[in-house]
Amino acid sequence: MKSPNAPHRPRLLVLRGEDLPPGHERIDDHPGLGEVVYATADELPARLPGAHALLVWDLFSEALASAWPKADTLTWVHAATTGVDNLIFPGMVDSDVVLTNSRGIFEQPIAEYVVGQVIAFAKDFHHTWDLQRAHRWRHRETERVAGRRALVVGTGPIGRTIARGLSAVGMEVHASGSRARSGDPDFRSVVESSLADRGADGAPTLAAALPEADYVVVAAPLTDATRGLVDRRFLQLMKPTARLLNVARGPIVVQSDLVAALRKGRIAGAALDVFEDEPLAVDSPLWELPGSVVSPHMSGDVVGWRDDLVDLFLDNLARYLDGRELLNVVDKGRGYVPG
C-alpha cells in the first residue's frame, strides 16, 4: 500500500510505556522529522493534536481509543506488536489512518517456544525437574514427538513458522483458518475455524479436526471471530491425552472453561503464555493445576527484540517520509495483515 501523504518534516508522537525505545536517539535525531514527542497513556490526549504519525511503543495500551477525538492530523499509526486488537476500534477502522504492525519480528522465537513446550510435555521434563528438586530417582517412559499430530489454530506467519518447526521434529501438522482448503505448503490440511459440524459448502471444521490432534496450538489474531473460540465445547472435543498451547491472545481461550477441563482431566495439559487478564492473578488455579505451564507473555521476546522493533519502525518511517509502500499494512476490517 502506498504511504499516506506525509507533510514536510512531520511531527511524530511516541506512546511510551515504562521504558523508551532502545537507541531512541535514532528516532529523535532523524533528519526527516520535525519534532518527536513522547507521551504516556495519561498524556496522550493532550499531545495527540498536531501529530502526523504515532508509534505505539506501550505495547498493549488501549489509550488511543479514548484519545481518538484529539487525532486531528494523524495519518499513520505503527504498532510495536504483531497483534493490534488494542488498536481496532470504530474510530480507527472508519478512518483513513493507515495502521501497520511489527510482523516479522516474533515468528521464529514463538515457533521455538512452541517446539520447546511440545518436547517438554512429551519428554516429561516438568516432572523431571520436580523430581530433581526433591532428590528423587524415578525412571519413566516418555512419549514420541515424531508422528504425533498437531493442529495449529491460525494460518498467518506465526502459525506457519510454528508448523515448519513442528514438521522439522517429525510431527504431522494441520491447521484451521478462515476457510477449509487443501494443497497448503505448510499444513497437511486446513479446516474451517468453526465448531459447527460442517462448514461452508460442507467443508470440514474444527469439530472434526480436534478429536484427532495430540497438540492444539492457538496462534490466531484476536478478532470477533476468535474471541472465546476455545470454550467448553472446544475442549471437550479434544483428546483426554491432548495438550493445548496458547501463544496468541488470552481472550481467545475462555479461562474458566480451561481451568475446569484441567481439573477434571478432560485434557492432559496446557502451556499458556497469554491470559485473559495480565499479569495472571496470584490466586489463579492455573499456577498449580496438574499439566498447567505458565509463562509471562514472553514467547516472542528474545535478546535484542526491542532493537529489532526499532529497526523495523525506522524502515517504515523512511518509507512514510519518501511516500513509498509501507510494510505490514493491517486490514482494519479483519484486524490483521492479510496474505
Predicted local distance difference test score (pLDDT) of residue 11: 98
CA distance 100 to 315: 12
CA distance 213 to 163: 14
Residue 157 parent element (H or E): helix 157-168
> What homologous superfamily does CATH list for 107-294?
NAD(P)-binding Rossmann-like Domain (3.40.50.720)
Q: Which residues pair with 243 in a beta bridge?
A: 215, 269
Angle between helices 125-133 and 107-122 (to 10 degrees): 70
* Amino acid at site 188: R
**Cβ–Cβ < 8 Å for 291, 267:** yes
Q: Is the pTM of this model over 0.85?
A: yes
For the chain, the maximum distance between any two Cα atoms, rounded to a whole number of angstroms, is 70
Query: Do 11-105+303-322 and 107-294 agree at the fold level?
Result: yes
**Cβ–Cβ < 8 Å for 53, 319:** no
The DSSP string of 101-145 is --TTSSHHHHHHHHHHHHHHHHTTHHHHHHHHHTT----------
Which are the catalytic amino acids?
A: 249, 278, 297
**Cβ–Cβ < 8 Å for 270, 215:** no
Predicted local distance difference test score (pLDDT) of residue 1: 54
**Cβ–Cβ < 8 Å for 267, 211:** no
Predicted local distance difference test score (pLDDT) of residue 339: 79
Residue 261 parent element (H or E): helix 255-263
DSSP at 36: E
Angle between helices 157-168 and 107-122 (to 10 degrees): 40
User: What is the residue extent of each domain of the chain?
Assistant: 11-105+303-322, 107-294
Q: Which has the closest alpha carbon to 216: 238, 187, 191, 193? A: 238
Predicted local distance difference test score (pLDDT) of residue 111: 98
Q: Which has the closest alpha carbon to 7: 327, 329, 318, 320? A: 320
* CB proximity list for 294: less than 8 A, separation 6 or greater: 272, 280, 286, 287
CA distance 307 to 34: 23
Predicted local distance difference test score (pLDDT) of residue 2: 62
| Assigned fold of 11-105+303-322 | Rossmann fold (3.40.50)
**Cβ–Cβ < 8 Å for 223, 193:** no
Q: Show pLDDT as tens, one digit a residue, over the chain (339 residues).
A: 568 989 999 999 999 999 999 999 999 999 999 999 999 999 999 999 999 999 999 999 999 999 999 999 999 999 999 999 999 999 999 999 999 999 999 999 999 999 999 999 999 999 999 999 999 999 999 999 999 999 999 999 999 999 999 999 999 999 999 999 999 999 999 999 999 999 988 999 999 999 999 999 999 999 999 999 999 999 999 999 999 999 999 999 999 999 999 999 999 999 999 999 999 999 999 999 999 999 999 999 999 999 999 999 999 999 999 999 999 999 999 999 997
Predicted local distance difference test score (pLDDT) of residue 165: 98
* Amino acid at site 251: P
**Cβ–Cβ < 8 Å for 30, 317:** yes
- Bond preceding residue 279 cis, omega within 30 of 0: yes
